[in-house]
Amino acid sequence: MKWLLVFLFHSTVILGLTVVSQIGGVVYLVCLLLARYVFHWSVQKQVLLFFSAYTIAIFLIVPKIALYFEREPLPIFGNSLRPLTMVTYVLNRHYVHSQLKEIIEEKASLIARRYPGTVTYYLDANFPFINGFPLIPHLSHKDGKKIDLAFYYKSKDNKQYVASSPSWIGYGVYDAPKLTEVNWPERCGEQGYWQYSATQYLVPSWSEGKYEVEEERTRFLLQSLAKTKNIQKVFLEPHLAERWGISSLDKIRFHGCHAVRHDDHIHVQIH
Ligand SMILES: [Zn+2]
């Protein structure tokens, strides 16, 4: 009976690590087999081996192998472009096709030149390997050609730009429709698409009252993306596209009720 529980425990860990980080499950399995059957190490040493091997893998090995899958990691400590949370790169969720990397880096430096001190934060992109391997819960982020970007924000008190976000993961704090605006979150909810506004449950709303979207920078980024040849489409909630006067740009699209709402982040994809 004990072996069954041990087997179930390790299987669950391997599955969970694979789902959230793609390579964590493989690293765990190799470390487990080596530590148990080759080195005969204690559990503490096994854990230490896993964390050491995983760290070496994500920083030194994975970026090199990812090149064979035409994917590269985005910068993690850049001045003008970096992840909103370190969880993104610790879990290998910051890999993109080289062409998308070039575009995002170019947009981030364009914004930083126009608005000095501005940081473009990226959210979930793609895993490093294998076309078709989805980055759950983003089912379409599976080919290196998709990325989510955070909005830019300002302080509600003094209206000054802040290099931060009301949500620590960038998702789940919405710039919701006003009374007179088109309200797709409500329509989708009424049609039974319960997942449409589900990201609000992912994050605590401690900072919700502190920040509001900095429209000028966010609109400028969206306009620039929509004018870029290799960009296929950009998803944004229709009430924001209308409010910001960019609904006529043909690459700025509504994604439909089957997705999650996009009044908390921008989804970008290339051809
Ligand atoms: Zn997305």
Nearest to 239 by CA among 191, 173, 177, 163: 177
pLDDT of the residue at 205: 66
Query: 52 C-alpha to center of ligand 1: Å?
Result: 31
- Calculate how far, in angstroms, residue 23's C-alpha sits from the geometric centre of ligand 1: 21
262: CB partners within 8 A, 6+ apart: 235, 236, 237, 255
Say how far apart CA 183 and CA 188 lie, in whole Å. Answer: 9
Beta bridge partners of 225: none
Cβ(96)–Cβ(144) below 8 Å? yes
d(CA 133, CA 83): 21
The dihedral sign for the CA sequence 271, 91, 4, 29 = positive
Domain ranges of the chain: 2-68, 75-270
pLDDT of residue 2: 86
DSSP, residue by residue, 148-166? EEEPPEEETTT--EES--S
Q: How far is the CA of 121 from the centre of ligand 1 (A)?
A: 14
How far does residue 171's CA lie from ligand 1's centre (Å)?
Answer: 11
CA–centroid distance, residue 124 to ligand 1 (Å): 7
Question: Given this model, what pLDDT does residue 203 score?
Answer: 79
CA–centroid distance, residue 56 to ligand 1 (Å): 28
Could you tell me the distance, in angstroms and rounded to a whole number, from the CA of residue 233 to the centre of ligand 1?
Answer: 11
What is the H or E stretch that residue 45 is in?
Answer: helix 43-56
Using the structure block, give the residue that is written with the tokens 């148990």. Answer: 36
pLDDT tens-digit profile, the chain (271 residues): 888 998 999 999 999 999 999 999 999 999 999 998 898 888 899 999 999 999 999 999 999 999 999 999 999 999 999 999 999 999 999 999 999 999 999 999 999 999 999 999 999 999 999 999 989 888 899 999 999 999 999 999 999 999 999 998 999 999 999 999 999 999 999 999 989 988 888 877 666 778 999 999 999 999 999 999 999 999 999 999 999 999 999 999 999 999 899 999 999 999 9
Is domain 75-270 in CATH 3.40.190.10, yes or no? no
Count CA atoms closer than 13 A to 10's CA, side-chain side. 18
